[in-house]
Structures are given as structure tokens and as C-alpha cells.
Structure 1
């Protein structure tokens, strides 16, 4: 089938006439009038017919037809359609013009990452068996980019990303004057079953470690780690560094959120405990305690000075004075604490030097009228 169209009956009849009729009626004959004279548009239709031929006729064991490339297939179509026969002699130029235009048509697809963001899904084409790439394809006329990506991924992997895609989360590159945009879809379970919906287009879908993909043309990591030449990833290479950057940003954000949560729960507590070792109480409460300690020390000095309980001199202190000191030391200004009969009895009872271990209730400004065991709290703070 390598001979020039028009010079070989073998080439002319390698695809049966009835099959050519069917293909032309499906994809060529019924074109709108404005497209019939547009050779570039016709070539796009021939490409669709070519894939249909490979998918349905070449896989039918009853026909036993051999697959062929796009150039040979186009030659059969141009010979078979009367309106195209005049262009058979310039077929190569027509196809070159079509390929040049085709490169300017944007291609959209997706990068599928596993749950750990460590592996990426790549597909292998029947016609490029030695290379791997992303599921992607060319946009149709008036088709939105993200819808094109959803369609192509579904066709090539059988996986529906329509509910997962973020229209603003993608990597875009210009390769050989062709825009390639890949939407990033993360957190796909690695045990997901992928089943291409087009026959004889995608041979395999496999997960590859992102860390083992080549970062440049001379990177031999794939050869060392997987036994695969880096040339097999030439369609992936332009996106590897940006994929890794995307993963690093997401991973770092997750780690920061984790650390932030931990800081709020345990970190603050630890920091607070550490600070409390140096500064356990507020300045106002510290002053109250110091005043209490000073008065307590003065009272003890007065008691031990004369060894008597009821003096008015330097070594004596009346029960009334001690009562006032006890009641006002931790009492807010303009607030009269309620004194229970028991407290009153204790306050007015004779107090010996050794009776300071007796427990008293008091109201402190810092605790807004809550009552505490005074001695137990002071023992903890001093």
C-alpha cells in the first residue's frame, strides 16, 4: 500500500469499495455545501473517517482488513470521491497544509493524580506504542475547553471528570505552535478501573510515579527506575516540572493547615505553660498577692513580737484589725462581700499564730466574686 495513488490497482482496491462508500457517506458526502470546497475541513472529516475505519472495520475479523496510516487512507478517499480526485496529485501538499492548520487548534485534556498525589495516569496510543501521554484531544468548533477535556478523558480512559474538574485549575503550554491545556484532577483512587471507549486508539492506561518522570531530555531517571527510555515521555516532559510544583504547593498547604491546627490545640497550651513558668499570674493579681504576703508577714511579726494577742503597740494587733485586713485584702472596691455566719464566727474568733493554716473563703477582684479556698490558691501561686 505504499505506492502512489492512481498508479496502482492494489492501492485502489486495498479498502473494499462498499466500505469506502459507507465511510464517505458517513463523513464526506453529507458535509454542508460551504465545507465541501474547504480541503482543510475535509481533512478533519477524513481523520474522523480514518478512526472509524480503524475502530469498526479493522477490528472485524470477518473483514480481516489491515490498518493503515492517515496518508494512505486519505489517498483512498481522494480517489473514491469524484469531487476530490482533481487534488490527488497535490495530496501531500493538502495534508501538509492541514497539519499546519491542525497545530493551531488547541488541545485540551487532563492530568489525573492519585490519592497521594504521587502518581500520574498516562495513556499509550496504538499508533505511538513507544510513547506515553496525557488523555487529551483537539477541541471541536464552538466547544468550551473544559468540556473538550471532559469528553477526551472519557473517550480515552472511560473515566468521567465532569464533576471533578476545576475550570480554573490547569497547566497550559504552547508546543510546536499548538496550545495544550491540561486540567489537573487530584485524589483519584489508584484502583480505579479505566476502560477506553474508543477502540484501537488507546492501548493502555497506567499510573506512573511522578518522581520517576524525566524533568529534561537528558534525565535518565525513567531508564534507571522503570527501565523505560525518557524518549517515551516526550509528550509529558513539558509538564513535569509544573506538575511537581502544583503537587508541592498542595502538599505544603495541607502540611501548614495541619501544623496550624496542632498549634491551636496543643501548641498554644504548651506555649502558655512555658510562659507560665516565667510569669504565672497577671500583674494585678501579683500585686494583690504581694500585699497579702506583706501584711501576712507584718501580722506574724506583730504576733511573735510580744507573744501576746491583744496589744495596741508595735508588737500587738487587735482582732478587729486582722478582721478588716482579711476582708479587704481581696475585696473589690465598692463591693461589699456577703459574710456567712460561719465566716463571721471565724473572723471574730481569737486567732493564734499557729491558726494561719485555717481555711478562709474570700472574694478576689481578678475572679469577679467567685469564692475560693484562699490558702490552697496562695500555696499554688507562691
Structure 2
């Protein structure tokens, strides 16, 4: 019989945390009890065998289990067979991996954790052992549904998970994101899950010495010892996911901008095509429209070109206008207005022509024609 190298008060604490609350019907399953003893062993190594307690020595699973079997009344009768019990447990453990889920809220800032009746002071992910011939993802769906009442079957991605081998046992947690924070969780199994709560991802400890949860929530890192092995990778996954979403958003904005530019270019191209077509039409109608317009204008002007009936200034302006109109109509004789500024000539022409019944497009075209001919004198 092993001596109690572990103080009795520590054994009392570990027993109350992990073993005493196991239901009566489960106590006969010693392999099942060994899983709880394993949790107690992890806790002992992480939070009792520290630099602050140099007198406490770490020990292996067999030695630790022996102390527990000797300390707890309903296990004490099986101390003599502890080697056989542990061997059965190891074989079962190696052949039966555990599957569950890391459930994240919509903005990936909170994670869902459960607290069992058996380990009432500790929080962990909803998970459980796979049944024979059961698909890992189906196991995760079943366990999460049993422990939280929430169905992840439509959210699970078989390729999105974090897994780790902890003390010879495979633990795989599928990552489920986008769950509404106001979802009502109701465990379906009796006396297995005590609480289901959201925890801020930033408040979880990255290691067993991280006091962030103590500062933020008043709960020591020992309450999350089953979560710690996954925290860093879980945070890294969230960071990578957020980076991908930001990159996708940036690409969408760039694509929308590019599409806008293309639409603008397309619109401008259409406008240019319309202008080009208009110019071609004007060129076709050029001689006909100008000829009709100018002949009509000349007929109206014949009555005001006599110097006796009008002032010399008016006569001079109209004479210049006549020369310009004739020049535009013929497109052969240069405009002989060397003594007069070309700007005045153009304004005079436009002043009279704007009142005509002809379209402004014709006016603009005629204006450009005169401007070009004056500039090339």
C-alpha cells in the first residue's frame, strides 16, 4: 500500500472536484472512474505541483490513482486490482477517441463552454467518446446536442477542426461559428451538465499560469485546465478567419470600384459614339441645312443693308455678317475682315443666328466652322 505522499486536504479537494459527484450507477464502471481520476491527475500536476509548492512532488497516473483509490471509500476495495483496472482503461482510451465542438458566436468573440456535475469547478468544451462505427462528425453533433441542446448538424464542416492527443487520447473539436449569442441552451442528459455559458475568448488563459481569467472574471486559470490545450490554436484560427474576411471585403470593394470604372468608361464610350454619330449626321446635312438657313437669313437682311436707312455702325456690322454668312455657305472665299477683331465677328454672327428656328446643334457646328476659318486666316 502506497503512503499518502499527497496531503489529505488536497486529496479531499481533488475527490470533491472530480469523483465524489459521479452518479451511483456509474461508480461500478471502474474504467469510467479512471477518466475522472485522469482529470484529477491533470489538475494536481497543473495547479498543485508548482514552484510555489516545492514540497509537492509530481507523480505518474498509476501512483496518483493508487492514492485516490486508497482515499475514496467506494474505490478502496479495488486497490488490489488497480493494475488490471488501469490496463483496461488504457486499452479503452486508446481505442476510443473523443469528439466535440468549439462553438463560437457570430462575431467570433465568445466561445461556449460547459460545466459538468462531476467536475463542478471546471469548464470544458462539449464533447464525448465516439460509439462503435460512429462517424467522428456525427459523434460531435450528438455530444453537443446532448450536452447543450443545440443542433450543429447544419453548421459543422468536417474539415474544420482542432485536434490534439492528450495523454494518449485523441481529442478532436470541430469549429462551429456564427451561433447567436441569445440562443437558449438546454442539456438533454440529466445530471451530467450543470451549466452552459458563453465566455469571452480574450479572457481565457493561454497557459496554466495566465491570470487573465482571474483578473477579468474572478476565476482562476485552474477552472479552464481542460480548455487551455486548445486556447492558442483557437485564437489563431479566429484571427486567420477575420483576416480572410477582411481580405474578401477589400477585394469586393476593389471589384466594385473596378466595375464602377468600367461602367463609367462604357458610359463615356457610348456618349462618344453618340457624339461621333451626331457629327456624321451633321456633316451629311451640313450643306443642305446651312444653305437653307443662310439663304433665308440673307433674304431677311437685304432690307437692312442700305446705309441710308441705318446707322453706319449697324451697316458695318451687317456687312461683316453678310461676308461671314456667304463664306460659311461657300467654304471657299476667305473672310476679309482684317480691320475687325474676329471675336466681334463671331459674336455678331451668333447673336443673329441664335434667333433662327434652326437647331442649336447646327449653330454649334457653324460656330466651330467660322472659328476655325478665322484662326487660319
> TM-score, normalization: structure 1?
0.54
Q: Is structure 2 residue 118 aligned with structure 1 residue 127?
A: yes
Partners of 2:285 and 2:157 in 1: how far apart?
A: 69
Q: Corresponding residue for 1:353?
A: 346
Q: Corresponding residue for 1:253?
A: 244
2:289 aligned residue (325, 342, 358): 342
Partners of 1:130 and 1:93 in 2: how far apart?
A: 29
Partners of 1:163 and 1:128 in 2: how far apart?
A: 30
Query: Using a 3 Å threshold, how does the CA distance of structure 1 residues 346 and 210 change in structure 2: closer, same or farther?
Result: farther
Question: Could you say which structure has the higher helix fraction?
Answer: 2
**Secondary structure, counterpart of 2:230 in structure 1:** helix
Greater shift in the superposed pair: 97-106 or 114-123: 97-106
Partners of 1:213 and 1:223 in 2: how far apart?
A: 9
Tell me how far 1:337 sits from its aligned partner.
Answer: 5.1
**Secondary structure, counterpart of 1:143 in structure 2:** coil
1:238 aligned residue (216, 225, 229): 229
Query: Using a 3 Å threshold, how does the CA distance of structure 1 residues 159 and 75 change in structure 2: closer, same or farther?
Result: same
Q: Corresponding residue for 2:158?
A: 167
Q: Corresponding residue for 2:128?
A: 137
**Secondary structure, counterpart of 1:171 in structure 2:** strand
**Secondary structure, counterpart of 1:218 in structure 2:** coil
Partners of 1:180 and 1:263 in 2: how far apart?
A: 42
Tell me how far 1:107 sits from its aligned partner.
Answer: 0.7
What aligned pairs does 1:229-378 form with structure 2 within 5 A after superposition?
229-266=220-257, 338-339=284-285, 341-342=288-289, 345=292, 349-350=325-326, 351=328, 352-354=345-347, 355=349, 361=361
**Secondary structure, counterpart of 1:123 in structure 2:** strand
Partners of 2:240 and 2:198 in 1: how far apart?
A: 21
Across the two proteins, how many residue pairs are aligned to each other? Answer: 252
Tell me how far 1:208 sits from its aligned partner.
Answer: 0.3
CA contact 2:162–2:175 (8 Å) conserved in 1: yes
CA RMSD of aligned residues (A): 4.6
Query: Using a 3 Å threshold, how does the CA distance of structure 1 residues 107 and 95 change in structure 2: closer, same or farther?
Result: same
Partners of 2:282 and 2:127 in 1: how far apart?
A: 81
Tell me how far 1:172 sits from its aligned partner.
Answer: 1.1
Q: Corresponding residue for 2:103?
A: 112
Partners of 1:249 and 1:136 in 2: how far apart?
A: 24
Query: Using a 3 Å threshold, how does the CA distance of structure 1 residues 46 and 227 change in structure 2: closer, same or farther?
Result: closer
CA offset digits 1:92-117 (Å, max 9, x no partner): 22321133224322110001111111
Tell me how far 1:176 sits from its aligned partner.
Answer: 1.4
| Structure with bigger gyration radius | 2
CA contact 1:222–1:230 (8 Å) conserved in 2: yes
Tell me how far 1:136 sits from its aligned partner.
Answer: 0.4
Tell me how far 1:266 sits from its aligned partner.
Answer: 4.9
CA contact 1:135–1:156 (8 Å) conserved in 2: yes
Partners of 1:337 and 1:148 in 2: how far apart?
A: 81
Q: Which runs of 5+ in 1 are unaligned?
A: 1-19, 29-41, 49-69, 80-87, 286-326, 363-371, 378-382
CA offset digits 1:236-277 (Å, max 9, x no partner): 11111221122122222222232333334457768999xx9x
Q: Is structure 2 residue 219 aligned with structure 1 residue 228?
A: yes
Q: Corresponding residue for 2:318?
A: none
CA contact 2:31–2:89 (8 Å) conserved in 1: no
Q: Corresponding residue for 1:207?
A: 198
Q: Which runs of 5+ in 2 are unaligned?
A: 1-23, 36-67, 296-324, 329-344, 369-377
CA contact 2:346–2:367 (8 Å) conserved in 1: no
**Secondary structure, counterpart of 1:140 in structure 2:** coil
CA offset digits 1:336-374 (Å, max 9, x no partner): 953175355458844553347978649xxxxxxxxx977
